[in-house]
Structure 1
Amino acid sequence: MTMNRYLVMAMRLPQFDTDQIGPHRDFLDELRGQGRLELAGGFGDKSGGAYVLRASDLDEARVMAFRDPLHLSGSSRIDVYEWQA
């Protein structure tokens, strides 16, 4: 199966809940353990962060990203883009 890269942008919303940072990091660790997370980090201005997923297609990448606790809690807006590097 061919794996493509997808950029996930997680932008904080006004109702951002700092209690979701730990579960978000656990979620990223889980993806890393599965070989699905290539790179992740927060923005210096604290407005959000981004990570690069490996998935077979955009739909699969969206399913994975929308499991992020930041999304499930309504703390951040999650957008997924196909990465053509």
Structure 2
Amino acid sequence: MTRYLVTTFRTPAFQARVVEQHYAFLDQLREQGKLELAGPFADKSGGAYLIKAASLEEARNLAFADPVHLTGSSVVTVYEWNAV
């Protein structure tokens, strides 16, 4: 499994109600053993999370199922990350 860094940056269309759904989504990833780390940025502009996936395509599929992406509340970007 490879690690992927997912960043989420709030858009002008951000919906505060989606935060609870986003956290539930992250809990599901954690239960599946795919989420390593997650948290918001201190300036409240968004956040990031680290997931494990077999490919970039799988990582994108996971990240783009995030409610913050589906509602247009955040721009979600996935990076393959070679953490040391």
How high is the TM-score relative to the length of structure 1? 0.97
Q: 5+ unaligned residues in a row in structure 1: which ranges?
A: none
How high is the TM-score relative to the length of structure 2? 0.98
Is 2:54 aligned against 1:42? no
Q: Name the counterpart of 1:16.
A: 14
Is 2:52 aligned against 1:54? yes
RMSD of aligned Cα (Å): 0.3
**Cα shift readout 1:21-72 (whole Å, capped 9, x = no counterpart):** 0000000000000000000000000000000010001000000000000000
Q: State how far apart, in whole Å, the 2-side matches of 1:37 and 1:8 are.
A: 11
Q: 5+ unaligned residues in a row in structure 2: which ranges?
A: none
For the residue of structure 2 that corresponds to 1:18, the secondary structure is coil
Over the matched positions of the two proteins, sequence identity in percent amounts to 58
- 1:69-84 to 2 correspondence within 5 Å? 69-84=67-82
Runs of 4+ in 1 over 2 A off after TM superposition: none
Q: Name the counterpart of 1:5.
A: 3
Q: How many residues align?
A: 83
